[in-house]
Amino acid sequence: MAISTGDLRAAAERARAAASEAGELRPARIGKVTTDIPEAIRAAIREDLASGAYQKAAQDAVAGDPDLAQG
């Protein structure tokens, strides 16, 4: 059975209404994101993101799992 745009719109409206009623359309808390990561690790993360090493590691980590491939 083909999915129509109308079906998608209706599903999205139902999901949005239910999420809104449950207060889920915004994060549970608003404000600055802070974590307890040491500076040396932050620098390593910065390096891996800039070099593409993180993205390569992510590909390797989900290899063989087509549902998590960002292809």
Partner 1 sequence: MIVVDDALLLAILAEQQGAAEAFLITAAEAGEVFTTGSWFWRLARVVARPGRGALSRALAASSEDEQRRVHNALDQLPAEIGLLSMRRLVPVMAALPGQLNLLTAEAVAAAVVLGARIAVSTASPLLAAAASSVDVGIDVVDFGS
Is the Cβ–Cβ distance between 69 and 62 less than 8 Å? yes
- Is residue 28 close enough to count as binding partner 1 by CB under 8 A? yes
Residue numbers 40-59 binding partner 1 by CB under 8 A: 40-51, 53-58
- Is residue 1 close enough to count as binding partner 1 by CB under 8 A? no
Is the Cβ–Cβ distance between 63 and 56 less than 8 Å? no
Percentages (nearest 5) of helix, strand, coil residues in the chain: 60, 0, 40
* Interface with partner 1 (CB under 8 A): 3, 7-8, 10-12, 14-16, 18-19, 24-38, 40-51, 53-58, 60-62, 66-71
